Chains A and B, each alone.
Chain A
C-alpha cells in the first residue's frame, strides 16, 4: 500500500433532476438535445438545471422560453414552462412573477430577442427591478433563422445580412447590454460571463447560481450575460468557436460584475393580502350611491339639455349635478361630455338628458334647454334649440344676431351674481339655480343633496349653496323672461 493518501472523488455522469430524462422533441433522438455540437445553449441549460437542483426550486420554477434556438427549452426543463413572443420574455416574466410571487421565474433570452426586438421590455423590466432572473445568451448571431446579424455581432464580421462585414456606419456598434443596464438604479446583480473554456464555464456556473439564488432570497432584478459559441453558424469547429469566445468576443464584451447589490438590496415588500370577497363592493364604492326616491315630477318629462362654456366654468360639473339629482328623483339620466384637450383650455360642453321614460340616445342634437355660460357657446348652440325651448345665457343682454323669438330666454349676469355671493367660479351654480327657478325641473332639495355628494370641500359647498339660492332668486324676483 502506498504511504500517501489518495483523494477520494467520484465522477458522476448524471443529468440534473430538473432536466427530463427523455427529450421527446425528436422521437429518434430522445437522449440528445436539438442543439448543434459545441453550441453554448446545452452548457447554459445545464448550469441552470444544476442551480435549480441545488437550490431545491424545481417545483417553483417557471421557465420563460424565447424565440430563437432556445424556443424549445421546455423540452428539456422539467419545470413550469411558458413559451413567449420574440423579445417579450421580460414583459411576460413580469406578470408571471407579479401574479405568483412565490414562483421562481427564469427568462432565457438570446441576443436578437433581448437586445434588438425586446430592447424596450428588458430595459423597463430591469428599471422596475422586477425580481426575476434573466439568462442572456450572447453569441453575436441569429442562429435559428440562419445567420443574420445580431445587435451584438462584432464589427467586421460577415453574416447573411452583413455580407461585406458589419460596418459601424451602417449597422452601428455591438450593443453592450450589461453596461447599458448597469446605468439603471434598480438592478441588483448584473454579470457577464463566457463559455470559452472550462475555467470560464466554472465561473459562469457560479454567476447563474447567484442570479437565481437572488430571486429565491426575494431580491430584485438579476441578469447574467453569457458569451456563447455558435460553431455551426460561425462556420467553425467547436474548438475554434470556443477560442473565439475566449479571445475576440471577450475583448469586445469585457467579462465581470457590473452590478452587485445583493448585500445591500432589500426584499420587495409583499403586496397587502386580498380583502375578503364580501368587502369588495364597499371598496369599489358600490354600497353607496343613489337609492332613487321618485316623488317628482308628476307628469312625464323629457329634458334634453346642452351645457356649454369655457373650460373651467364648471360646465361638466353642472351637468353631473343635474343627473345626480335627476336620478334621485326617479328619472332616467345620461351625461355625455365633449372630451379631450379642449377641456383644459377652450370650450367645453356636455349633453345631459333627464327623462321620465327610458333614454334612447344620450346625444342631444335638438336641446329644449341650453345653458350657455359664454357667448361663443350661445352662438354655437342657439340655432339647435327646439322651438319653445329654454335658453339661459350668462350676460346682461343677448348679443346681436342671437334673436330667437320662438324660445324662452333667461339672461342674467350669472358670473357677477356668483361673485357677489362668494366666488365668480360658482356661476355654474347660479345658472343652475335659475334653471330650477324658471322651469321647476327639479326641487332645490334634490339638487342640494346631489351637491353635498359631489362637493367635498365645506367652503365650496357653502358658496355653491349661496350661488344656487341667488340664481333661483334672480329669476323669481327679476324681470320675467326677456325674449
Chain B
C-alpha cells in the first residue's frame, strides 16, 4: 500500500476498520474529535455503525451492547470523557467484553485545557472504575503506531475478552506522519459467546453480577489469571540505545519522541544515555527495567504530568537505582534541549557519586 499522510486520529479509525471494527459510538471532544469524524465518514460505507451518543456514559454502554452482540466496537475520547466512561469500563471488564477505547489525552484536572498532557495515566492504567479489573493499555508514539497498535488492540481485546485502551496524547492525535497500512483486511467474526438474537446464541448470557461471594471470588480469580497471562505474554517496549546506557530515560507517547532527540544530543556530547519506551503501559515492562538496572546507574522518567508512570518505574526497580523525574504539565511539551539540561545534571551527579565511591 502506498504511504498515507494522515493525522493520528484518522489513522486510528482506518486501522480499526482494517482490523474488523464495524461500530463506533462516541461523543465529540477536543483533541479527539477527528476520530469520531472519521468514523462518521467511513463506518456507514463499510457496513458498520456510527452513532454520536448523548454522552460518554451512553457511548461506553453502547460499546457494551455492540460487544455483547459480537461486533468489534470502539470509541474515542479525552480526559473528561474518559472519566465519565470509567463506570462502563468496569462493567465491560466484569462482563468480559472486548472493545477498544482511544484516549487522546488533554490537560486536566477539570476542564483543564485542550493541549497535550499525560495526566490520564493513573485513571486509565490503574483503572478508574470500581472493582478488581485492569485494562490493557497501548501507548503509540507515532501516527504509524496509532494505526498498528489500534489493530493490535482489537486482537488483544478479543484474546483477553477485556477492554483495551489506546492511550495517546493531543500531539500524537493531531500530528501527520506517513503511515503504511497492511494489505490484509480482517473479516468481522462473531464470537461464540455473543448474544445475537439467534437460535444458536439463545443460551448465551452477558453479565457482571455474581451475588454469591464464592462465585464472585472465583470470577475475580479468573480475571486475575487473564491479567497474569497478559503480564507474561503481552509486554511490549522499545529500547533505544539503552543497552550501554548509564542513564536510562523512560517515557511514552510524544515524550518518547522528544527523548529520542535528547538521547541523540546527549550521545553527541559523549553522555551514555538511552531510552526505554513502554509500548504497553499495562502490562508494564518492569522486567526489562530491572534488567537495564544491572548496567544503568540511574533512571530519569519524563512525563507530561506531575509524575504518574513514575510510580510504576519505581515499583519495577524496587529501589535498585535512583529514579529522577522531569515533568511538564498543563499542555507544555518540553523541548529536547530542556530535557537534556536536566539529564546533564543527573549524569554529572552520577559521575560524582562514582568518583566518590572510587575514593571511599
User: Residue on A with the closest CB to B206?
Assistant: A82
| Interface set, chain A 229-285, CB cutoff 8 A to B | 271-275, 277-278, 280-281, 283-285
Tell me whether B36 is interfacial, beta carbon within 8 Å.
Answer: no
User: Residue on B with the closest CB to A273?
Assistant: B47
Judge whether A327 and B45 touch: CB under 8 Å. no
Segment at the interface with A among B228-236, B256-264, B289-297, B319-327: B256-264
Smallest CB–CB gap between A170 and chain B, Å? 26
In whole angstroms, what is the CA distance A274 to B48 when docked?
8
User: Residue on B with the closest CB to A316?
Assistant: B176
Judge whether B65 and A333 touch: CB under 8 Å. no
A100-B197, A336-B174 in contact; A360/B202 too (CB < 8 A)? Answer: no
Tell me whether B29 is interfacial, beta carbon within 8 Å.
Answer: no
Smallest CB–CB gap between A285 and chain B, Å? 7
Segment at the interface with B among A59-67, A149-157, A188-196, A305-313: A59-67
Smallest CB–CB gap between A355 and chain B, Å? 11
With most chain B CB atoms within 10 A of its CB, the pick from A59, A72, A93, A366 is A59
In whole angstroms, what is the CA distance A99 to B69 when docked?
6
Contact residues in B for A223 (Cβ distance below 8 Å): none
In whole angstroms, what is the CA distance A273 to B23 when docked?
15
Tell me whether A462 is interfacial, beta carbon within 8 Å.
Answer: no
Judge whether B178 and A327 touch: CB under 8 Å. yes
Number of A-B contacts (CB under 8 A): 251
User: Residue on A with the closest CB to B106?
Assistant: A340
Residue-by-residue, is B198-212 near A (CB-CB < 8 Å gives 1, otherwise 0)? 110110111111000
Smallest CB–CB gap between B3 and chain A, Å? 5
Judge whether B30 and A281 touch: CB under 8 Å. no
| Interface set, chain A 393-413, CB cutoff 8 A to B | none
Tell me whether B280 is interfacial, beta carbon within 8 Å.
Answer: no
Smallest CB–CB gap between A125 and chain B, Å? 9
Contact residues in B for A96 (Cβ distance below 8 Å): 65-66, 68-69, 195, 197
The one of B30, B175, B198 that contacts A60, using a Cβ cutoff of 8 Å:
B198
Smallest CB–CB gap between A407 and chain B, Å? 18
The one of B54, B209, B264 that contacts A83, using a Cβ cutoff of 8 Å:
B209
Smallest CB–CB gap between B7 and chain A, Å? 9
Judge whether B2 and A291 touch: CB under 8 Å. yes
Tell me whether A121 is interfacial, beta carbon within 8 Å.
Answer: yes
Contact residues in A for B5 (Cβ distance below 8 Å): 289-290, 320, 323-324, 327, 333, 335
The one of B197, B264, B335 that contacts A62, using a Cβ cutoff of 8 Å:
B197
In whole angstroms, what is the CA distance A454 to B3 when docked?
15
In whole angstroms, what is the CA distance A100 to B66 when docked?
9
Given A95-B61, A103-B198, output 19 extra A-B contacts at Cβ < 8 Å. A59-B197, A60-B197, A65-B207, A79-B202, A83-B95, A88-B61, A91-B61, A98-B51, A100-B197, A103-B69, A103-B196, A121-B58, A271-B47, A272-B44, A277-B187, A284-B18, A289-B2, A323-B176, A363-B171
Q: What are 17 A-B interface contacts by the 8 Å CB criterion?
A: A80-B195, A80-B196, A92-B65, A95-B49, A121-B58, A271-B49, A280-B17, A280-B18, A283-B46, A287-B2, A289-B3, A335-B5, A336-B171, A340-B30, A360-B257, A360-B260, A361-B257
Q: Which residues of A contact B (CB under 8 A)?
A: 58-62, 65, 71-72, 74, 78-85, 88, 91-96, 98-100, 102-105, 120-121, 123-124, 271-275, 277-278, 280-281, 283-292, 320, 323-324, 327, 332-337, 339-341, 359-363, 365-366
